[in-house]
Amino acid sequence: TQLLEQSPQFLSIQEGENLTVYCNSSSVFSSLQWYRQEPGEGPVLLVTVVTGGEVKKLKRLTFQFGDARKDSSLHITAAQPGDTGLYLCAGRRDISNFGNEKLTFGTGTRLTIIP
Amino acid sequence: DVKVTQSSRYLVKRTGEKVFLECVQDMDHENMFWYRQDPGLGLRLIYFSYDVKMKEKGDIPEGYSVSREKKERFSLILESASTNQTSMYLCASSLGTPDTQYFGPGTRLTVL
């Protein structure tokens, strides 16, 4: 099974600070997604990056796909308590018999923003 | 809005029991998925289905089976529950592939 390793596994910082979460693999993915999961809920998609080197911004969140499409990062500027949650990266791979793509999820980063 | 519902939020079963987890989506999605989520391991795919009565094994299918008799419903079955199947189970659906997966709130299963 191809693995996506996320680092750090846990991160606790003060409100207003900046942070970066990393998602790394030895495998190439056709695209990569980032999800956020809050307690008691399922993951919700934040963004999809497709092209190597692509950068996407979602308000204070900046997502980057590595040039070789093996890794990605999520940078949060001026973190707020509402950013608290479990962040999951997920890479698309095509291995099913029907040629459909499936997601490989990362190990997760649990982020806590302290007011 | 897409809605994916799961039959139970919390479930406690005993070793050896047969367990059914139900998932229903209301957006006529073609694809449905079952994952389990464990700390430090992320989400791991158990089974998925791209059409009614069609199923395909994911990464960790051992000890599980699935049923999809209707397009909107995808069931996960634990034939004989074991303690190592204690986990959070998440169902998801998507319109096609590649496409966004929409997740249910999860069922936290404890097997004693």
Tokens of A80: 């707020």
Tokens of A77: 């500027």
Residue A1 in this model has a pLDDT that exceeds 70 = no
As a whole number, mean pLDDT of residues A27-45 equals 92
The residue behind tokens 């209301």 is B26
B78-94 per-position pLDDT tens digit: 999 999 999 999 999 99
State the residue range of the domain holding B73: 4-96
Total domains, chain B: 1
Pairing of strands B102-103, B87-94: antiparallel
Contact A108 B40 (CB under 8 A): yes
Structural domain includes residue B86: yes
Which of the four pLDDT bands, split at 50, 70 and 90, describes residue B100? confident
Structural domain includes residue B16: yes
State the pLDDT at residue A94. 62
**Lowest mean pLDDT segment, chosen from A56-60, B10-14, B26-30, B62-66:** B26-30
Residues of B in contact with A1 (CB under 8 A): 59
Structural domain includes residue B63: yes
Scanning every residue of chain A, which has its alpha carbon at the shortest distance from the alpha carbon of B101?
A: A45
**With contact defined as beta carbons under 8 Å apart, do A24 and A4 qualify?**
yes
Contacts of A88 (CB under 8 A, 6+ apart): A6, A34, A35, A36, A37, A43, A105, A106, A108, A109, B42, B43
A73-92 per-position pLDDT tens digit: 999 999 999 999 999 999 98
Mean pLDDT of chain A: 90
Structural domain includes residue B73: yes
Domain A5-114: state its class.
mainly beta
Structural domain includes residue B77: yes
Which of the four pLDDT bands, split at 50, 70 and 90, describes residue B41? confident
Structural domain includes residue B112: no
Contact A45 B100 (CB under 8 A): yes
Structural domain includes residue B19: yes
Nearest-CA distance from B49 to chain A in Å?
A: 11
Which of the four pLDDT bands, split at 50, 70 and 90, describes residue B63? very high
Burial class of residue A97 in the structure, from the number of CB atoms within 10 Å of its CB (0-12 exposed, 13-18 middle, 19+ buried): exposed
B64 touches chain A (CB under 8 A): no
- What percentage of chain B carries pLDDT values higher than 70? 96
Contact A43 B90 (CB under 8 A): yes
CATH code where residue B86 lies: 2.60.40.10
- Interface residue of A25, A89, A107 to substitute, partner B, most B CBs within 10 Å: A107
State the pLDDT at residue B6. 96
Structural domain includes residue B105: no
As a whole number, mean pLDDT of residues B29-44 equals 91
B12-27 per-position pLDDT tens digit: 999 999 999 999 999 8
DSSP string computed for B74-108: EEEEESS--GGG-EEEEEEEESSSS---EE---EE
